[in-house]
Amino acid sequence: MAKQVVRLNLWTDPAFDRIINASPDTALAVVDLAGPPETIRAQLGQADIYHVSAAKDEVPAQWQVTRELIRHCPRLVCASSSGAGYDTVDVEACTEHGILVVNQAGGNAASVAEHAFGLMLAVARRIVESDHLLKTASGFTREDLMGRELNGQTLGLVGIGHIGRYTARLGQAFGMQVLAADPYLDAAEIRARGATPVPLDELLASSDVVSLHCPRTAETRNLFGAAEFRGMKRGAVFISTARGGIHDETALYDALAAGHLGGAGLDVWNVEPPPPAHPLLTLPNVVSTYHTAGVTHEGRRKVATMAAEQIVALCAGALPGRIVNPEALPAFRQRLGG
């Protein structure tokens, strides 16, 4: 019998629906978020697999995979995140109920790494400042907008998974020395991924650009606060295409306003999009984007394809390749078989 796959009617690359609908092992239902809550709850209650957006501010809290939602979804055996992150899924609750959590890590790695470098270039070469002045002012000189080359600088990567590894390759192409701190990888693996392994404090003290590429977890939440920004080189640039909540926005503003840091490129925020009056948006040396690092045509298509193929494989009896909570496998297998 085909497994019921349910997703919300948020934008999804057509590849997802096409692959799910083509499989004899899956049936797809798309839930209209504008519908009555009782209808949405009833539709989700029929889900064997819930494919949910990874962006917490896109999914109303009551439709995120929480303990409360799980209570209304007795058939649910898999929560599939639409991206590498899984902020909309309570992994611990899923594990307790034998629900497998899968993500799409690596599907948009090229897109995110390119965006990180776009932010680095925009800050270092003052591209956004130059564009703004050309459109709004006169009487300035080219030297007023003098920036810095990335070539010859040191790039420090906090995390060197799928995206960090791709970013390391770009750093090498730009002639940068690449350092990485990642507590989940040994030194040999970090070197194999294109970086020199160092402790975090050494990375902060040595890097001209610090770029975050770690997931938001209990270990990384508020990882970067006032002490970490003070530990960075004076004039260094801070980049994050990771997740809001890993860095303290107030502490970052203070470090920039005081002149300790030379600039920042930010794609992620505590609240997305950030309010127009957000202090960081007032600084000319901050280049800001709206969590769009992975939002490219290519990245969205790859992620949608990966998600659908993982679901089809799961429903055909195979294990998906990107399992967030492997400890749930014994209970998951028992429930899936039942």
Question: Which positions are catalytic?
Answer: 243, 272, 291
Do the bridges between strand 154-158 and strand 100-102 make them parallel or antiparallel, or are there none, so unpaired?
Answer: unpaired
Token pair recorded at residue 195 = 């970086």
Residue where the block lists tokens 């998974």: 161
d(CA 198, CA 187): 8
Residue 328 has phi, psi (to 5 degrees) of -85, -5
Token pair recorded at residue 224 = 């970067």
d(CA 293, CA 12): 16
What sign has the CA pseudo-torsion 300, 302, 304, 306?
negative
Cα–Cα–Cα angle for 224, 228, 229, nearest 5°?
95
Q: Is residue 183 classed as helix, strand or coil in its secondary structure?
A: coil
d(CA 48, CA 50): 7
CB 308 within 8 A of CB 15: yes
CB 48 within 8 A of CB 4: yes
